[in-house]
Amino acid sequence: VSNHTYRSGDLTLAAHLERPPESGRGLHGVVICHGFPAGEGGGANSAATFPELAARIARELGWVVIVPAPRGMPGSEGSFSLDGWLEDVIAAADHLLLGQQATSVWTAGFGTGGALAVCAAAADGRIGGAATIAGPADFSDWAANPRRLLLHARAAGVIDEGAYSTDFDRWASGLSGISAEHAAEALAPRPLLVVHGTDDDIVPSLDARAVAAAHGAGDLRMVNRA
């Protein structure tokens, strides 16, 4: 449920924002990134449980939390692109620092959002560190078949029917240029937490090990039978 908006480039994006009950200046902030929507109409559902998580973090830890709905998601302008979503995560961190007066900001995410959280932190030195949960090391599977991804994204409702019909190659090129594994090396020595299930049948656990190893000092937590 969105209750806030922020700007990413020329786009106005929806978000869910939570501040602690007695909030003022000097707050820590975190950007929580959801994964890529699955299934027809998935764009409306992929972030459904995140407002509850954001409220709990704000209430129990006293942090200001933003859950962005990146471009193409319900309530947000634009259409999905992977490099565009990365820009939207960085813009959300910037919004916490400048618009919400957070004194520090971190990024965390799940699935695709986990990989983007690492990449955003590596790209913006103001971000203190990152956490990725069940995130892929890279997007080589998507890059190998971008037209299938385009059709899936349209079915999920995050790309308009006519979007990228004339600049498909530029859209597809963004899939191979983003890698949590490469970004993890650039993120060091800022901290990185990597959480992954040993039985994950969508993203192999080897991806988590690769990301943590690339960082050099990543905190790798493997969850048995998950």
Whole-structure pTM value: 0.94
CA distance 179 to 119: 7
CA distance 70 to 68: 6
User: Residue 188 has which token pair?
Assistant: 């060091």
CA–CA distance from 181 to each of 71, 135, 177, 194 (Å)?
24, 10, 11, 11
Domain count, the chain: 1
Domain that residue 62 falls in: 4-223
Write the pLDDT tens digit of every residue in 103-121.
Answer: 999 999 999 999 999 999 9
- Length of the chain counted residue by residue: 226
Write the pLDDT tens digit of every residue in 59-101.
Answer: 999 999 999 999 999 999 999 999 999 999 999 999 999 999 9
CB 54 within 8 A of CB 100: no
CA–CA distance from 171 to each of 17, 93, 105, 164, 183 (Å)?
29, 24, 29, 7, 20
- Three-state DSSP class for 124? coil
Q: What is the CATH number of the domain that holds 175?
A: 3.40.50.1820
